[in-house]
């Protein structure tokens, strides 16, 4: 019996979160607020990649949950050498998926503010190979506001930051 090929699929991420702690003397992992884990669909004890936007470091570790509603993002153990409080990061969860099940599969991006409070949750549907190149699938230079405010509020324009 021939087994279908699989691919690593990024199913959920916490985008541009702020590192709240780095604890060198804790057994390795990343501690994350369960509200953020739930929103991204990331389960405790599963592997994630963590990218440090501030310095370019990238590593794999596993997730443990911290206090709910705390906004905690704490790199533990050796990972603490690559992250400091205030760094911006992206936490990404992956799963092995049969190739035939990838088109139409949803990937979730959780956008947070500087205190790691959820601003928005976007879901993206993976196109088929034949759907590649269609304008509705193009996400090049897609941006989102990192502060919550009414659209077009001129008093917020100076504080608005786009990614």
Which residue out of 11, 26, 60, 62 is catalytically annotated? Answer: 62
Q: Is 29 a catalytic residue?
A: yes
Q: What residues form DSSP beta bridges with 145?
A: 162
What are the DSSP E strand ranges found in the chain? 6-18, 21-23, 29-32, 47-52, 58-65, 73-76, 88-98, 106-112, 118-125
Q: What is the largest CA-CA distance in the chain?
A: 64
The CA distance from 91 to 19, in Å, is 11
Report phi then psi at 35, rounded to 5: -60, -40
Which residue out of 9, 11, 26, 29 is catalytically annotated? Answer: 29
Where in the sequence numbering do the catalytic residues fall?
29, 62
């Amino acid at each position: 019996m021939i087994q279908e090929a699989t691919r690593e699929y990024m199913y959920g991420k916490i985008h541009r979160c702020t590192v709240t702690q780095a604890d060198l003397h804790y057994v390795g992992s990343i501690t994350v607020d369960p509200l953020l884990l739930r929103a991204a669909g990331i389960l405790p004890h599963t592997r994630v990649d963590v990218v440090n936007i501030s310095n370019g470091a990238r590593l794999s570790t596993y997730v443990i949950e911290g206090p709910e509603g705390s906004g905690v993002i704490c790199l533990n153990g050796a990972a603490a050498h690559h992250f400091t409080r205030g760094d911006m990061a992206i936490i990404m969860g992956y799963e092995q998926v049969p190739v035939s099940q990838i088109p139409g599969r949803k990937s979730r991006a959780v956008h947070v503010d500087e205190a790691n409070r959820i601003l928005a949750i976007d879901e993206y549907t993976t196109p088929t190979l034949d759907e590649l190149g269609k304008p509705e699938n193009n996400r090049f230079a897609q941006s989102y506001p990192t502060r919550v405010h009414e659209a077009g509020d001129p008093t917020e324009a100076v504080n608005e930051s786009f990614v």
